[in-house]
Structure 1
Amino acid sequence: MTYLYLIVAIIFEVVATTALKLGDGFTRLVPSLITIVGYGLAFYFLALTLRTMPVGIVYAIWSGAGIIFITALAWLLFRQALDLPALVGMGLILAGVLVINLFSKSVSG
């Protein structure tokens, strides 16, 4: 159940961050409301995850996965350009998340 909570937290964080961009500095009501609710739910599910997993591991997975997904959405929705250093950097972040999940004995849940 812990990983399910973490996945849900990541999804809400990605939705909220995307809505934050669409909210144009909180000047558009619907994206602004999605941002506020999305971050609230993201932190709620993150808190549930922290009941059984170490904070450093959870945060590394949450932020790393969030970076990858938000960047992919920014590329698709907002035509954000990604150069080679950006792609290499995100590849390293993804590799770090995978190493933590596959090999670290610090992960429980």
Structure 2
Amino acid sequence: MQWIYLSLAILFEVAGTISMKLSAGFTKWQPSVLLVIFYICSLVFLTLTLKSIQVSVAYAIWSGMGIVMITLIGFFFFSEKVNISKALSIILIIIGVITLNLTSEQAHQAPTVSRSNK
């Protein structure tokens, strides 16, 4: 269930960012209201995610996938330019998210050592 929550958090964050673009600096009230609603929903689902996924992993996936999705939406729907540097950076983000996800699953399965206070 935590991955569904994280996916919803990402989708709402992306919707909020699109609304931010469409609000034209809060000059259009409909996208401005949607922006607030979408970001609240995103943070609610991200908070629910953090009940069972480490904050470092959840936040990295949330922000990384949001960046990738917004970049693609900017390119396809807002006619933004993509150069080699931007494309390479997005590929590195995707590799980082995948690696983080794989290593966090391995760490979750391995026994943990707790630190004691002296």
- Closer, same or farther: CA 69–56 of 1 in aligned 2, 3 Å: same
Residue number in structure 1 paired with 2:66: 66
**What's the CA shift for 1:107?**
5.5
Residue number in structure 1 paired with 2:50: 50
Read off the aligned partner of 1:69 and give its amino acid letter.
Answer: M
Residue number in structure 1 paired with 2:91: 91
Which structure has the bigger radius of gyration?
A: 2
Structure-to-structure mapping, 1:20-31, within 5 angstroms: 20-31=20-31
Alpha-carbon separation, structure 1, partners of 2:108 and 2:12: 22
Alpha-carbon separation, structure 1, partners of 2:108 and 2:58: 8
How many aligned positions are there? 108
Which SS does the other structure have where 1:27 is aligned?
coil
Q: Percent identity?
A: 38
TM-score by length of 2: 0.87
Alpha-carbon separation, structure 2, partners of 1:92 and 1:107: 24
Q: Deviations over 1:22-66 (max 9, x none)?
A: 000111011101100000000000000001111111110000000
Q: CA RMSD in A?
A: 1.2
CA contact under 8 A between 1:8 and 1:42: conserved in structure 2? Answer: yes
CA contact under 8 A between 1:57 and 1:106: conserved in structure 2? Answer: no
Show structure 2 runs of 5+ residues with no match. 110-118
Higher relative contact order (CA 8 A, sep 6+): 1
- Closer, same or farther: CA 90–107 of 1 in aligned 2, 3 Å: farther
TM-score by length of 1: 0.94
Moved over 2 A (4+): 102-108
- Closer, same or farther: CA 37–59 of 1 in aligned 2, 3 Å: same
